[in-house]
Amino acid sequence: MRKGLRALKNSFETILKEREDEISPRMRTILIGLYGDWLWLDERIDTVSKEIEQISRTEENCVNVMTIPGIGPMISTAMVAAVGTGEAFERGRDFAAWVGLVPRQYSTGGRTVLGRITKRGSRYLRMLFVQAAKVILMRTNRWPDFSFGGWLTKAAERMNRNKLAVAMANKLARMAWSILRHKTAFDAPRDEVAIGV
Are both 141 and 72 inside the same structural domain?
yes
Residue 190 pLDDT exceeds 50: no
Distance (Å, whole) CA 34 – CA 146:
46
Domain annotation covers residue 118: yes
Q: Same domain, yes or no, for 66 and 31? A: no
- The string of pLDDT tens digits covering residues 72-111 is 999 999 999 999 888 889 988 889 888 988 877 667 777 7
Residue 194 has pLDDT above 60, yes or no: no
Total length of the chain: 197
H-state helical runs in the chain: 5-18, 25-58, 60-65, 73-83, 92-99, 123-138, 149-158, 161-182
In angstroms, the Cα distances linking 115 to 15, 53, 97, 118, 123 are 52, 37, 14, 8, 19
Same structural domain, 41 and 25: yes
Q: Are residues 45 and 104 in the same domain?
A: no
72 and 45 within one domain: no
Q: How far is CA 63 from CA 5, 79, 118, 180, in A?
A: 33, 12, 29, 10
Question: In the predicted model, is pLDDT for residue 22 greater than 50?
Answer: yes
Is the pLDDT at 122 greater than 70? The verdict is yes
Domain that holds residue 42: 5-53
- Read off the pTM: 0.76
CB atoms within 10 A of CB 62: 24
Res 185: pLDDT: 86
C-alpha span between 71 and 49 (Å, rounded): 15
Q: Is residue 82 part of a domain?
A: yes
Separation CA 100–CA 17 (nearest Å):
51
In the chain, the number of structural domains is 2
- pLDDT at residue number 7: 87
pLDDT > 80? residue 46:
yes
31 and 100 in a single domain? The answer is: no
The answer to whether residues 140 and 102 belong to one domain is: yes
* Confidence tier at 177 by pLDDT (50, 70, 90): very high
User: How many whole angstroms separate alpha carbon 5 and alpha carbon 67?
Assistant: 33
Per-residue pLDDT at 8 exceeds 90? no
How far is 156 from 165, CA to CA, in rounded Å? 10
Same domain as 164, residue 143:
yes
- Domain presence at residue 108: yes
Give a yes or no: residue 197 inside a domain: no
Between 69 and 193, the more confident residue is 69
Strands 111-117 and 103-108: antiparallel
Reply yes or no on whether the pLDDT at 50 is more than 50: yes
In this prediction, what percent of the chain has a pLDDT beyond 70? 90
Amino acid 100: pLDDT = 87
Same domain, 15 and 64: no
Both 36 and 86 in one domain: the answer is no
Count of beta carbons in the 10 Å neighbourhood of residue 129:
30
Asked if the structure places residue 173 within a domain, the reply is yes
